[in-house]
Structure formats: C-alpha cells, structure tokens
Amino acid sequence: MGTSQPRFVIGEKELAEISSYCRIAKANSSRLTVTELLQLTTADATEEDLLDAWGGNAALSSMYLVESGYIVERGEGGKARGAEVDVEERNRARARMNISAAEGLARICADDRVKLLAVSGGNSYRSARNGDDIDFFCVTTKNSLWLFMLKSLLLARLYQLTRRSAPFCFSYMMDEDRALREFGETGDGLFARDALAAEVLVGRGFYRSLLLEATWMRRFFPRMYQRGLSAAQGGRDRPERRGSRTLNAFLYYTVGGYVRMKAYLLNRRYRSRGNVSSIFSVRIGSDHCVYESNRYQRLRSMYSKGGAGGET
C-alpha cells in the first residue's frame, strides 16, 4: 500500500526565501508569523501545507520552529527561545498604539493638499521596537509639499507633547508627479515590501493608482501585491487643491534648511553615542524629502543578496 505524496515540499528556492526573510526579521529585531511569511514567499502553498512541510525539511526545522504562531530560532538543545515571543508581543502592542496615534494626527493633518498619508516602517510591519519613531509616507498635490511639511511638523510636535505619543517622522514625502515616477520605475525588493506593507490612513484611491503604476512589485511579492490592490479597491480620489509654486519654493529653502539642520544635529548625536545604524542621509528637493538610514541601506543589501523576493 503506497504512501500519499505531500501536497507541498520545501525546495531550495523556498528554503532560501524563508531563511532570508527570517534573517531580515531578526535584523529588525522582530519575528514573523506563519501568515506573514507565506505572504512574502512565492511558494504555492497554504499555511497548513507550509507547516506540514516544515518538519520534513531537516535544514529548516533545525534552525527554526513555530512557537505561538511566530517563527523563532531554536536555542540550546533545540528548544524555542520563549523570551523572543514575549518581546514580539510587546512590539506588536506598541505598533498598534503607534498606528492609533498616527490616525489621530492624520485627522488634523490631512487636508485637500494630501493625496496619500500612510504609516510606514516598523509600525506598518506591525512590530515596533522601544524608541522607534512613527514613520509617515506622504504624497501631496503638486507644489504643496513644503507647505504640508511645515504644517505637519508643527502639528506633530504639538500632538506628541499633548498625547505623549512616540515621535513622528515624515520620512518619505513626495508630490504626486514624483511619486508616480518613482513607483513606475523598477525598484528593489525592499522598496516593494515597504510600499506594500504601508498602512494607508488617507487616500486609498491614489494608493491603488501607485500600485497600478508599479506592476513590477508583483515579481517580488505576488500575494502582497494582489492583497494591496484588493484592499484599495473602491477607494476614491480625494478632492484636491494644488499649491503655489512660489510659496513651495520659498518654504523649500526655509523649512528645508531647518530639516537639514535637524538632520545634522541628530546624526551628530547618533555618532557621539556610537549608534551608527541610525545615522541617516537626507534626499531633499522641491518635490521630495526622503530619509534613509544606515540600517535601511543594510536591509537593502540583505534583500539583494539573500534570495528575497525570488531573487538569488
């Protein structure tokens, strides 16, 4: 009597993807759930299939196991490191609180110059470390970026002081033309995952427009890409008001100067504390303001070298 064949087998490609994403999560001091891992991989399997196949793969089962729904490294003696689950639960509770604070700020920041306002970074991945900022991904109408930046910086500071929330960081800001160009150009796996993980607070219609420009993301994360499109289905474009080119240019030089000075002071503080991973560069122009830390650059390298998104 023959034995039935398993519905799914973890091959070399799937092993590379799973190992890569687990390493990337660890580098971010977070842990993935089985559901999240399956969203990232290109494996043609259900969660049940993946779990059934897990024990049959000697390399994978020797390194990781599933504990309370999270994928954790095996400790000494092959047992789970229980503390990892407790830390991850706290990180996820913190992320929920941070997203709630972001929703509160969005209600007072988002006007008719805002095409899209979303939470990005660790909070959008549902796992925020102690001390993490609340990062925003924002898209404004043309010639409105720096007026919105001025307003948002003031309101964010006031909100943080009165509600005692984590600090807000407007780390990825662009006007609509620049955003459509950037999403339309083929990017890397890290850019795709960040964009697809974004927690959209305002502007689902425009977010869907960005994803439709970025069909290249499907190659990295087919499940996440389809889920993003489905979640934004039915979203309508917001009423909008374009800004003044002259005012935007003036604020770019004045508010932009403040941003550069603040970045310099923060980086000097990070260097004095030996916190090299948090040191960041600022790309700034009349239509964009983007922060990129050393930690982010390291993650990009991990995505390009580790087989993430189906690449080797």
Fold classification of 12-80 is Arc Repressor Mutant, subunit A (1.10.10)
pTM metric for this prediction? 0.89
In tens, the pLDDT along 71-84 reads 988 864 455 566 88
Quote the tokens at residue 207. Answer: 């977010």
Numbered ranges of CATH 1.10.10 in the chain: 12-80
Helix %, strand %, coil % for the chain, to 5? 55, 15, 25
Choosing among 3.30.1360.70, 3.30.460.10, 3.40.50.620, 3.40.50.300, the CATH entry for 92-307 is 3.30.460.10
CA distance 262 to 265: 5
- Between CA 272 and CA 277, with CA 275 as vertex, the angle to 5 degrees is 140
In tens, the pLDDT along 76-128 reads 445 556 688 889 999 999 999 999 999 999 999 999 999 999 999 999 999 99
Numbered ranges of CATH 3.30.460.10 in the chain: 92-307
Q: What is the DSSP string of 117-148?
A: EEEEHHHHTT---TT--EEEEEEE-TT-HHHH
Confidence of residue 310 (pLDDT cuts 50, 70, 90): very low
CB 191 within 8 A of CB 117: no
In tens, the pLDDT along 22-74 reads 988 888 888 999 999 999 988 888 888 888 888 888 888 888 888 888 998 88
